[in-house]
Amino acid sequence: MSNPSLLILPGDGIGPEVMAQVRRIIDWYGDKRGMRFDVSEDLVGGCAYDKHGTPLHDDTMAKAQEVDAVLLGAVGGPKYDKLDFSVKPERGLLRLRKEMDLYANLRPAQCFDALADFSSLKKDVVAGLDIMIIRELTSGVYFGEPRGIVKEGNERVGINTQRYTESEIARVARSAFEMARKRGNKVCSMEKANVMESGILWRDVVQEIHDAEYPDVELSHMYADAGAMQLTRWPKQFDVIVTDNLFGDLLSDLAAMLTGSLGMLPSASLGAPMANGRPKALYEPVHGSAPDIAGQNKANPIACVLSFAMALRYSFDAGDEADRLEKAVEKVLADGVRTADLLGEEGVTPVSTSEMGDAILAALDAGL
C-alpha cells in the first residue's frame, strides 16, 4: 500500500518557520516509528499571489482535494493589505475551507500544567483546563450573500449576510455531540437567538438533533456574549462548545489566552469522509502570520506541531502517536523550555523556533 499523502502549505510570515519544525517531526515519525508520508509542498496566501497573481492556484486547490490531509502554516501580512479583496491572502485559506467543505473546525484549548502560571487569568481558573470549541467553518456571515460594498445615494454601504441552513447547523451539531461522547459528554451551544433569526434556528436545530439522536449528552444553550464572559470567568464549566463561524473565530482567540499564548493553539478542520474513509481534513494553528516577529526565528512552533498531532489522531487513526507527540510537548514545557511568547518567569532565556523544535525532537527520542 502507498504511504498516506500530505500536502504542506507553509504560507506567509512565521508560517514557513513553524512548519519547518513540523517537517522535522514528520521525518522523525518516518525514521523512528516507520510512519512514512508522501509529502508535497505548495504555496498559499501572499506567496502564492506573488508567484501566480492568486492566493490559491487551481492546481493547488486540486491537489488539496486529492491528498489524505493538508497542513497549513499561516497566511497574510502587511505587504498584502492594499490588495484587492478578491486576491487577499486570506481568500486562499477561505477557498480551501469552502471547496473542501470543511464544516467542523475543532479548536481545543488545553492548559498545560507548566503554563498555568503564565495565563493572564488566575492559576485556579485555568489549571487543568481542557475544552474543545467546534466552530462552523463553511457558512454564516463569512460566506452569506448578498455581500459587498455598494453605493446608496451619496454614501457607501458595507454588506455581509449571516445565513445558515438547517442542514449546515445539523451537521456541525452532530460533530459536537459525537465529540462530547468521547470527552465529558457535555455540549454548550452559543449563538445570539435573542437578536438574530439565524440564532433562533441554530438553537432550535441543535436542540432537535440532540433530542432525536443524542439525548444522553448534556446540552445547554448560551448567548455568545455571555459565553465570552463565562469563558473568562470559569472556563472549566465547559467541555464542548459549538458555535457559528464568526463567534467561533472570536471565542477561540479568547480561549487561546486561557492556555497562555496564541502560539499554543492547534486546529483541525474536518469535512465529510472521503472514499478511503478518512475525513477531508486541513490542520493549521489558530494563530496568523505574526508579521511583528516573522523572519526572526522567534515564533512558537507548538501550535503547528500540535496541529500535526491532531492530523495523526483524526486523519491517520494514530491516536497513540498523537499522544506521544503531545507528551513530548508537555515534557519540554515542564522542563522550562520557553519561546519568547511564553516568558513570564524571571531569569529564563527564551529559545528560538528551531531550538524549540530541537527540544521536542529530543523529548520524542527520550520517550522511545
Which residues in this chain contact ligand NAD in the complex, by CB under 6 A? 14, 18, 74-77, 90, 93, 262-263, 284, 287-293, 299-300, 303, 341
User: How many Å apart are CA 319 and CA 311, to the nearest integer?
Assistant: 9
Catalytic annotation present for 358: no
Q: Is 290 annotated as a binding residue?
A: yes
Residue 68 makes contact with Mn ion by CB under 5 A: no
Catalytic annotation present for 123: no
Minimum Å gap between C-beta 76 and Mn ion is 11
Q: Single out the residue of 40, 163, 164, 56 nearest to residue 100, CA to CA.
A: 56
Contacts of 310 (CB under 8 A, 6+ apart): 106, 108, 266, 267, 268, 283, 322
Q: Which range in 2-10, 86-94, 147-155, 223-231 contacts ligand IPM by CB under 6 A?
A: 86-94
Q: Which C-beta is closer to Mn ion: that of 140 or that of 357?
A: 140
Phi-psi region of 124 (alpha: psi -120 to 50; beta: other; left: phi over 0): alpha
Minimum Å gap between C-beta 25 and Mn ion is 24
Choice from 90, 178, 355, 358 touching ligand IPM (CB under 6 A): 90
Q: Is 303 annotated as a binding residue?
A: no
Chain centre distance of CA 71: 11
CB 92 within 8 A of CB 48: yes
Minimum Å gap between C-beta 66 and ligand NAD is 22
Q: Is 291 annotated as a binding residue?
A: yes
Minimum Å gap between C-beta 93 and ligand NAD is 5
Please list every residue from 122 through 181 that binds ligand IPM, using CB under 6 A. Answer: none
CB 77 within 8 A of CB 14: no
- Number of neighbouring beta carbons within 10 Å of residue 260: 26
Choice from 17, 42, 68, 249 touching ligand IPM (CB under 6 A): 249
| Of 49, 249, 314, 341, catalytic | 249
- Residue in this structure with the C-alpha cell 438533533, named with its chain if needed: 209
Q: Which C-beta is closer to Mn ion: that of 168 or that of 249?
A: 249
SS3 122: coil
Choice from 94, 170, 250, 254 touching ligand IPM (CB under 6 A): 94
Minimum Å gap between C-beta 294 and Mn ion is 17
User: How many Å apart are CA 300 and CA 321, to the nearest integer?
Assistant: 22
Residue 249 makes contact with Mn ion by CB under 5 A: yes
CB 134 within 8 A of CB 126: no
Q: Is 288 annotated as a binding residue?
A: yes
Minimum Å gap between C-beta 247 and ligand NAD is 16
User: How many Å apart are CA 333 and CA 203, to the nearest integer?
Assistant: 40
Partner interacting with residue 138 (select from ligand IPM, Mn ion, ligand NAD, none; CB below 5-8 Å by kind)? none
Q: Which range in 101-109, 165-173, 243-251, 260-268 contacts Mn ion by CB under 5 A?
A: 243-251
User: How many Å apart are CA 328 and CA 312, to the nearest integer?
Assistant: 14
Contacts of 286 (CB under 8 A, 6+ apart): 107, 252, 253, 256, 262, 265, 266, 267, 303
Please give the grid coordinates belonging to residue 24. Answer: 522535522
Strand partners, 242: 134, 189
Binding site for substrate, residues? Answer: 97, 107, 135, 225
Binding site for NAD(+), residues? Answer: 77-90, 288-300
Which residues make up the interface to ligand IPM (CB under 6 A)? 76, 90, 93-94, 249, 286, 288
Indicate which residues carry an active-site annotation: 142, 192, 225, 249, 253
